[in-house]
Amino acid sequence: MKDRSEVIFGNRINSKAYKKALRSKKKYYKKFGDDSNADYAAVIQKNAYIGDALGVNNVLIGDLKQNAHFNEADKDFLEFDRQKGIIVGNIRMGFGHYRISMAMASAAKAMGYIPYWMDLNSYGLTTCTKVIGAQNDLYSLGSRMSKNPVFNKLVWEPMNYEGFRALSYNSSDQKNAEIMAAVYKNIPKDIPVIGTHVWPAQAAIHAGMKYVVNAIPDNWPMALHLSEGSVHTIQCHNSYMGYRILNGMDKKNVCKAMPASDLVYTGHYIDHELVSNIEADCKARIDRKKNKRPMRFLLTIGGAGAQKEIFAAIIKFLMPYIKENKAVLYINVGDYKNVWDSLVEQIPQMKKYSTQHFEDWDETYEFAGKALCNDCEINGIHGFWHSNIFEAVYCTNLLMRSCDVLVTKPSELAFYPVPKLFIKRVGKHEMWGAIHSAEAGDGTLECRDIPHTLQMMDLFLNDDILLYDMCKNIMDNKRIGLYDGAYKVVELAMGLKSKN
C-alpha cells in the first residue's frame, strides 16, 4: 500500500513534514503501546438509547467491559448483515460528529438499511481510542482557553483556520490513523463505511475496507478532512471548489487537484425525521407567530463553557418575555449538568419558571412529542440534561422540530432546517457555516458580540418578517434537495458496493 503520508493526491510532502509525521506515530506507540498485531474481536449489540429511534446497532471491539457503549444487561449479540449493513464510523469530539452520524443512521434506516455505530473513541483497551482521547483532551482544552482573546487571536483561530488547512497536517494525521486501523481487523471488508470524522475514514482505508465514504463536516476546505482512498462528500458548492483544487493547502503553491471521482456534492447531512417534516414544522412556526403565541427559543450549550456568558445574557434578556408568556426557552446542556447549575446560580429568577427534564429519556421524548401538538401550550423555561451521550445529543434533534429559533454557534447545526440565530463561533473555520446559512436564507449572520446577539433576539420577537422569510426559504430549500445530503451519502456508500 502507498504511504499516504508522503504523497497526498499527487502532492509530495516535504521531508521535514514527513519526518514529523513518523515521529508522531512513534510517540503515540511509545506512550500507549503498539497493538497493530492485536486480533480484536468484533460483535454487534443493539444501541440501548437510539436503537429504536434510528435503528442503530453498536460495533463493540475487543474486551466488552472496556467498550464505552457496551450494555451489560443485553447479551443478545447480532451478526453483521453483509447485504443491508452500513457502518457509520465516528468519534466523540464535541457533539458535532455524533449528530452527523445520527443523520446518516436515520437516513440509512429510512432507506431500508441497517446502520452500525462504530465509535473509535469508545474502545478503551485499544491504542486507537487512547490516541483519540489524548487529541480530544487537547482540543477541549483549546476550546476552553479560547475564551481568552489573546490566546484565541494568536493560537486558536489561526490553528483552526490555517494550521488544519495544510497538507502537512494531513500527513501527520494519516500516520496516526495507521495506529487506529487495528479496530477494523475483524470487520467484514465489504461492508460500506461512512466516516463522519476523518479518522474513522482514514483508519478504514488503512485497514483495507473496500467501500469508504468520508463525509466532510465543515465548509471551510482544510487538508485535515482529507482521507485519500475514500470518496469525499461535502455539503455546499463553495467547499466543493476549495477541496477540488486543494485551495491554499500548500501555502501559495498550486496543488495537483483531487480527481473528480473522489469528490461529490450532496447537500446538507440531515436526519430523515427532520427532513420529512419540514413543511409541517415551518407552518406551525408561522401559525404561532401569526397567532401571537409564545416564541420558542432552543439554546444548545456545550460543556467547554466558551460561550456561557453569551447564553447568560440571552436568558436575562428573555426573562421579561418569559414572565409575560411571550417567549418560551428550551435549554439543552447536553451531558454537562454543571452548566445548568452555573446558569441557575447566576440567574436565580430562572428557578421560578423552570421545569427540569433531567435523566428521564422517556419523559423528554414525551415532552418533545407534546410540543408538536398545535393545541398544547408550552410555557416557561425547560431545562434538559442527560448523562448519556446519545440522549444528550439527540435531545436537541427532538426539540428542534417544535422550536421557532435555534440559538447556536455556527457549527454542524448551521446546516439544519430550522430558523437559526448564530452566536459567536469557537474556531474561525466555523465562520463559513453562518455565511452559508445566511446565503441559504435559513439563518442569521454570525453575531460576534452580545449587543448584536440581543439585537437579533429582539428582531425575532418583535418583527414578523425575519421568521416568515426563514421558514419560506427552508421549505423552498427542501424542494431543491438542499437537505437531502444524508440520503445521498448513504446511497453513494451502498452504490460503491453494488458497482462491484
Kindly report, residue by residue over 266-304, the tens digit of the pLDDT.
999 999 999 999 999 999 999 999 999 999 999 998 655
| Whole-number Å distance between alpha carbons of 145 and 439 | 31
> Around Cβ 457, how many Cβ atoms within 10 Å?
22
What's the whole-number average pLDDT of the chain? 94
pLDDT band, very low/low/confident/very high, at 365 (cuts 50, 70, 90): very high
| Whole-number Å distance between alpha carbons of 95 and 89 | 14
pLDDT band, very low/low/confident/very high, at 305 (cuts 50, 70, 90): low
| pLDDT at residue 158 is higher than 90 | no
Query: Which residue blocks in 268-353 are alpha helix, DSSP H?
Result: 272-275, 278-290, 308-323, 337-346, 350-353
Decide: helix, strand or coil at residue 245.
coil
Question: What percent of the chain has a predicted confidence (pLDDT) above 90?
Answer: 84
Q: What is the mean pLDDT of residues 338-344?
A: 93
The answer to whether the CB of 84 falls within 8 A of the CB of 109 is: no
Query: Where are any strands of DSSP class E within 79-158?
Result: 85-90, 114-119
Decide: helix, strand or coil at residue 34.
coil
Residue 3, all three cell numbers: 504511504
Decide: helix, strand or coil at residue 309.
helix
Nearest 5°: phi and psi at 240? -60, -50
Which of these, 443, 448, 457, 424, lies nearest to 316 by C-alpha position?
457
| Whole-number Å distance between alpha carbons of 336 and 71 | 22
Q: What is the mean pLDDT of residues 314-343?
A: 95
| Whole-number Å distance between alpha carbons of 1 and 434 | 40
Residue 465, all three cell numbers: 418578517
| Whole-number Å distance between alpha carbons of 316 and 68 | 38
- In this structure, what DSSP letter does residue 67 have? B
- Helix, strand, coil shares of the chain, percent, nearest 5, are 50, 15, 35
pLDDT band, very low/low/confident/very high, at 172 (cuts 50, 70, 90): very high
| pLDDT at residue 90 is higher than 80 | yes
pTM: 0.95
The residues, any chain, with a CB within 8 Å of residue 341's CB and separated by 6 or more, are none
Please calculate the CA angle 489-446-461 and round it to the nearest 5 degrees.
Answer: 105
